[in-house]
Amino acid sequence: MAVPEAFYREVGQNVRMKREQLGLTQEALASQVALTRTSITNIEKGRQKLLLHTFVDIAHALSVAPASLLPAILGGSKERLDARLKEYSESQQDWIKTTIEASESGVSP
């Protein structure tokens, strides 16, 4: 299933901003979540897709709730989210909504 590239770019930007706020290097974050520095670079640029458990591990390493790393478009009303997702296929919309629901409920794989 294809997933929106913009979604991963924004998640990556959020990871980078939080990492920099904490004064962590890419290498330091990578070692905390058992990835390489190159993987962190690719995640931050939106080029590498994240497995859900890796996403949660990164959030924990950054001491934030996973939902806080999700794109800002996800906040607000259901109607607003539906409007923003119109350009994506139904399967992509389902994937994004499922990911949001899992992170908001604190479900961790």
* Segment 28-83, tens digit of pLDDT: 999 999 999 999 999 999 999 999 999 999 999 999 999 889 886 545 556 667 77
CATH code of the domain occupying 5-104: 1.10.260.40
Three-state secondary structure along the chain? CCCCHHHHHHHHHHHHHHHHHCCCCHHHHHHHCCCCHHHHHHHHCCCCCCCHHHHHHHHHHCCCCHHHHCCHHHCCCHHHHHHHHCCCCHHHHHHHHHHHHHHHCCCCC
Provide the residue count of the chain.
Answer: 109
Residues 6+ apart with CB under 8 A from 81: 73, 74, 97, 100
pLDDT at position 109 is 40
Amino acid at 4: P
Which pTM was predicted? Answer: 0.67
Domain extent listing, the chain? 5-104
